[in-house]
């Protein structure tokens, strides 16, 4: 159900007046009155629009957000954010360079004092999209190599690089006090991941990187990922992160065994399931095939430059 701000206020007034039917009461229970907004914990939530999940933090005197989606959905995000905060975004982050995480920067820059990303994120964004005059790019104005950290309101926010994985510029943004970490596309929860080899991504490196992340954060850390099999799975636990790691190991083991049997790249691409991960969903047709072929290429080194 779509409800405008005006209608929401009207509904709130009716609730106060005590004449509204029971069914409407849920609208008054949380901050998530705007479509796509969902509160995770006090002051922190997500926005699901088009592309990678956005995270937001709003306190009395501080606002932070992670990832930008596309210009149209970034506009919707800003509109909703304005209802919670009457100030600019103090700190905005890009988890990596992909279009569905950075193209909305053109909208968000008007409201954000600082955009922070890993140095490779900016390099890859320039390389991949910088020459397209129809799609003007806004790049992060603050970059880091290993770790970036700052206090904001009652929060302490860090951005960390653990190594190549989905791309070679993926950062984990951690709201330390709330213990909530946005991992960008380092996790595709219950769905086949996309490995961007042109953007420095690698399955083998992704396994190493996830091992480091799993050790670094604790069992209470609540994770937010860019993409999942369904909207309710973008907020997840460390168990789901570890499952992603197990998936890559199962994928590599399977493809190695098939290569030993003498199977060709073409035949391997047609395998119908990765053992233990039969329920993994394809968010786009051919995602499993791409994963199998990518594993083949990495193992055989067939596309190394």
Contact residues for Zn ion, defined by CB under 5 A: 98, 185
**What are the C-alpha distances in Å from 4 to residues 1, 33, 243?**
10, 9, 39
Judged by beta carbon, residue 99 or residue 204, the one nearer Zn ion is 99
Minimal distance, residue 178 CB to Zn ion, in Å: 24
Judged by beta carbon, residue 185 or residue 258, the one nearer Zn ion is 185
Judged by beta carbon, residue 45 or residue 226, the one nearer Zn ion is 226
Give the side-chain half-sphere CA count within 13 A for 106. Answer: 11
Judged by beta carbon, residue 43 or residue 190, the one nearer Zn ion is 190
Minimal distance, residue 98 CB to Zn ion, in Å: 4
Minimal distance, residue 29 CB to Zn ion, in Å: 33
In this structure, how many other beta carbons lie within 10 angstroms of the beta carbon of residue 229? 17
Minimal distance, residue 288 CB to Zn ion, in Å: 18
Judged by beta carbon, residue 98 or residue 190, the one nearer Zn ion is 98
Judged by beta carbon, residue 166 or residue 288, the one nearer Zn ion is 166
Q: What interhelical angle do 203-216 and 287-300 show, nearest 10? A: 100
Minimal distance, residue 185 CB to Zn ion, in Å: 4
Minimal distance, residue 166 CB to Zn ion, in Å: 6
Minimal distance, residue 196 CB to Zn ion, in Å: 7
Structural tokens at position 185: 């596309």
Judged by beta carbon, residue 34 or residue 124, the one nearer Zn ion is 124
Cα 35–chain centre separation: 18
């Amino acid at each position: 159900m779509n409800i405008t701000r005006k209608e929401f206020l009207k509904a709130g007034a009716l609730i106060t007046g005590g004449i509204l039917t029971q069914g409407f009461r849920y609208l008054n229970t949380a901050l998530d009155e705007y479509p796509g907004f969902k509160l995770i914990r006090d002051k922190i939530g997500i926005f699901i629009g088009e592309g990678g999940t956005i995270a937001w933090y709003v306190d009395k005197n501080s606002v932070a957000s992670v990832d930008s989606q596309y210009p149209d959905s970034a506009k919707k995000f800003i509109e909703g954010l304005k209802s919670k905060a009457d100030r600019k975004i103090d700190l905005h982050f890009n988890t990596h360079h992909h279009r569905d995480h950075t193209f909305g920067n053109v909208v968000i820059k008007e409201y954000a004092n600082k955009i922070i990303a890993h140095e490779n994120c900016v390099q890859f964004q320039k390389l991949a999209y910088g020459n397209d005059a129809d799609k003007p790019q806004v790049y992060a104005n603050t970059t880091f190599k290993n770790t970036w950290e700052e206090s904001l309101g009652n929060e302490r926010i860090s951005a960390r690089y653990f190594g190549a994985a989905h791309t070679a510029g993926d950062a984990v943004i951690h709201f330390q006090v709330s213990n909530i970490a946005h991992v960008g596309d380092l996790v595709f929860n219950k769905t086949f991941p996309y490995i961007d080899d042109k953007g420095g991504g690698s399955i083998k490196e992704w396994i190493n990187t996830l091992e480091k992340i799993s050790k670094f954060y604790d069992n209470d850390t609540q994770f937010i990922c860019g993409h999942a099999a369904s909207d309710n799975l973008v907020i997840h636990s460390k168990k789901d992160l570890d499952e992603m790691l197990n998936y890559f190991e199962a994928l590599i083991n399977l493809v190695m065994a098939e290569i030993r049997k003498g199977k060709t790249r073409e035949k391997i691409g047609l395998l119908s399931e990765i053992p233990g991960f039969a329920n993994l969903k394809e968010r786009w047709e051919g995602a499993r095939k791409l994963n199998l072929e990518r594993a083949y290429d990495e193992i055989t080194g067939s596309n190394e430059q």
